[in-house]
């Protein structure tokens, strides 16, 4: 469910007409709904009711500080994967003890900054990383709480570029090696082994891979406790998928996911962390764009938009589908025709959809890409010297620009011409 609905023939974001925001901000732009962010966070929080838990938002999905503060005010922790994301979370007012640091390539400066600024835990992905964290923590006179990310070799049955839990993926330590790594960690100064971390991928639409992974984690927890480790926290990652189409095939609900966690891990009396990102932010955002031209081609017609692959790269990178709808609601029974929906970037890959059935549109009309809140704005670029797409947040009948569109001078003035030119 989201809060982008037609009302009186116009698409609204909560109680604000999308066309009014377009007139004020210009296109293209990302638009988020506070009510949808709130609802989706609450679904996860409620799903784990009765267990000690923390929902740590995976902020790589959408990391604007306004989004982070909205979720933090609801009680969310943050899952970060870089020093920049850590700094963003702190700037949004999230205390260090609510920030989990994940990622395979944490640098020394990132580790030091997190230890100095406060951290809930590091999710350690390799033995070399473990040694570095120990060295830095000892030099600072601090103790680093850590979990070890184990790779359970479970096929998440998702897109190859977002699968993370198979043996050939770069993430984590093979689960067969975990006991030896935990034994080593227990001997290191500056290290407090508190739990286990697992994350098998993104956009999962079936709970079966989770069950396989979590049963392996339950078995490992018992083994590590028998080895003398105080395993008191289980970080289960995120990855639950969202419906990118309006079909009847819906991914599992957070309530079903929570029930699975309770069934497979509830007997262990561990604090549970989950790290949803896409399901919280995905359907909470749309990308609004304007038709520049309607072009008749050889055997096909094109809708050429002012939004491009640099604004929303998911279709080009993942062959991802986004429903694209007109901002003015089509009249009932309006005849549709197929269009290739493309952007203005000089790449054939700048194509959002092929042969997509759409109602008649003309230059100047607005369209909205649904389910664009996750991995949209955060992956945008200034390719072709196209200004970075702005972001807008709606709440009730209000909206605010939460990231401005830079002008050309601002973009160009970041360059520095060396003295010999």
Residue 251's pLDDT is what?
82
Residue 166's pLDDT is what?
44
pLDDT in tens, the chain (421 residues): 789 999 999 999 999 999 999 999 999 999 999 999 999 999 999 999 999 999 999 999 999 999 999 999 999 999 999 999 999 999 999 999 999 999 999 999 999 999 999 999 999 999 999 999 999 999 999 999 999 999 988 865 544 444 444 445 556 899 999 999 999 999 999 999 999 999 988 788 889 999 999 999 999 999 999 999 999 999 999 988 888 876 555 788 999 999 999 999 999 999 999 999 999 999 999 999 999 999 998 888 999 999 999 999 999 999 999 999 999 999 888 899 999 999 999 999 999 999 999 999 999 999 999 999 999 999 999 999 999 999 999 999 999 999 999 999 999 999 999 999 9
Pair of tokens at residue 378: 């955060």
Using the Cα atoms of residue 44, residue 162, residue 1 and residue 67 in order, give the sign of their dihedral.
positive
User: Pick the catalytic residue: 331, 346, 417, 421?
Assistant: 346
**SS3 state of residue 391:** strand
Using the Cα atoms of residue 62, residue 241, residue 172 and residue 145 in order, give the sign of their dihedral.
positive
Residue 159's pLDDT is what?
43
CA separation for the pair 229, 226 (Å, rounded): 7
Number of H-type helices and E-type strands within the chain: 12, 21
CA separation for the pair 123, 100 (Å, rounded): 7
Residue 169's pLDDT is what?
52
Residue 283's pLDDT is what?
95
CA separation for the pair 380, 64 (Å, rounded): 13
How are beta strands 391-395 and 29-33 bridged, if at all?
parallel
Residue 114's pLDDT is what?
98
Pair of tokens at residue 405: 């569109």
Residue 413's pLDDT is what?
97
In angstroms, what is the C-alpha Rg of the chain? 23
CA separation for the pair 111, 107 (Å, rounded): 6
Confirm whether 346 is a catalytic residue.
Answer: yes
Q: Hey, what long-range contacts does 123-126 have (CB within 8 A, 24 or more apart)? A: 123/147, 123/148, 123/149, 123/197, 123/235, 124/148, 124/149, 124/185, 124/197, 125/149, 125/171, 125/172, 125/173, 126/173
pTM over 0.85? The answer is yes
Kindly give the interhelix angle for 208-226 and 178-185, rounded to the nearest 10 degrees: 50
Domains and CATH numbers, the chain: 4-31+282-412 (2.40.37.10), 35-280 (3.20.20.10)
Length of the chain as a residue count: 421
How are beta strands 391-395 and 366-369 bridged, if at all?
unpaired
Kindly give the interhelix angle for 108-117 and 127-140, rounded to the nearest 10 degrees: 50
CA separation for the pair 106, 381 (Å, rounded): 23
Pair of tokens at residue 85: 């994301």
Task: Look at the block and give the residue holding tokens 């604004």.
Answer: 311
Q: Cis link prior to 28 (omega < 30° from 0)?
A: yes
Taking the CA of residue 399 as centre, how many other CA atoms within 13 Å lie in the half-sphere pointing to its CB? 25
DSSP bridge partners of 291: 305
DSSP bridge partners of 193: 146
Residue 158's pLDDT is what?
45
């Amino acid at each position: 469910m989201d809060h982008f609905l037609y009302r009186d023939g116009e698409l609204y974001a909560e109680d604000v007409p999308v066309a009014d925001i377009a007139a004020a901000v210009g296109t293209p732009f990302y638009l988020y709904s506070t009510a949808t962010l709130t609802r989706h966070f609450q679904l996860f929080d409620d799903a784990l009711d009765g267990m000690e838990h923390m929902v740590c938002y995976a902020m790589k999905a959408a990391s604007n500080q306004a989004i982070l503060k909205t979720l933090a005010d609801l009680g969310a922790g943050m899952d970060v994967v870089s020093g920049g994301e850590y700094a963003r979370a702190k700037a949004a007012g999230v205390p260090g003890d609510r920030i989990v640091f994940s990622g395979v390539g944490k640098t020394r400066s990132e580790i030091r900054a997190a230890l100095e600024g406060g951290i809930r835990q590091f999710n350690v992905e390799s033995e070399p990383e473990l040694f570095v964290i120990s060295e830095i923590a000892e030099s600072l006179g601090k103790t680093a709480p850590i979990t070890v990310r184990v790779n359970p070799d479970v096929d998440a049955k998702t897109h190859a570029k977002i699968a993370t839990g198979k043996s050939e993926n770069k993430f984590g330590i093979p689960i067969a090696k975990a006991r030896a790594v935990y034994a080593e960690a227990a001997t290191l100064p500056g290290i407090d082994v508190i739990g286990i971390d697992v994350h098998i991928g993104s956009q999962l639409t079936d709970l079966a891979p989770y069950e396989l992974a979590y049963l392996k984690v339950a078995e490992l927890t018992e083994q590590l406790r028998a080895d003398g480790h105080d395993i008191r926290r289980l970080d289960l990652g995120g990855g639950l998928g969202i419906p990118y189409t309006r079909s009847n095939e819906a991914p599992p609900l957070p309530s079903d996911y929570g029930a699975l966690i309770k069934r497979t891990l509830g007997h262990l009396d561990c604090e549970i962390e989950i790290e949803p990102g896409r399901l919280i932010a995905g359907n909470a955002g749309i990308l609004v764009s304007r038709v520049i031209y309607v072009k008749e081609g050889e055997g096909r017609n094109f809708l050429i938009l002012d939004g491009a692959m640099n604004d929303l790269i998911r279709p080009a990178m993942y062959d991802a589908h986004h429903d694209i709808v007109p901002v003015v609601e089509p009249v009932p029974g309006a005849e549709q025709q197929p269009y290739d929906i493309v952007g203005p970037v000089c790449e054939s890959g700048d194509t959002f959809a092929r042969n997509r059935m759409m109602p008649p549109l003309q230059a100047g009309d607005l369209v909205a890409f649904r389910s664009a809140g996750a991995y949209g704005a955060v992956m945008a670029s200034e390719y072709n010297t196209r200004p970075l797409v702005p972001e807008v947040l709606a709440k009730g009948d209000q909206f605010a620009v939460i990231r401005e569109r830079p002008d050309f001078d601002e973009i160009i003035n970041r360059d520095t011409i060396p003295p010999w030119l």
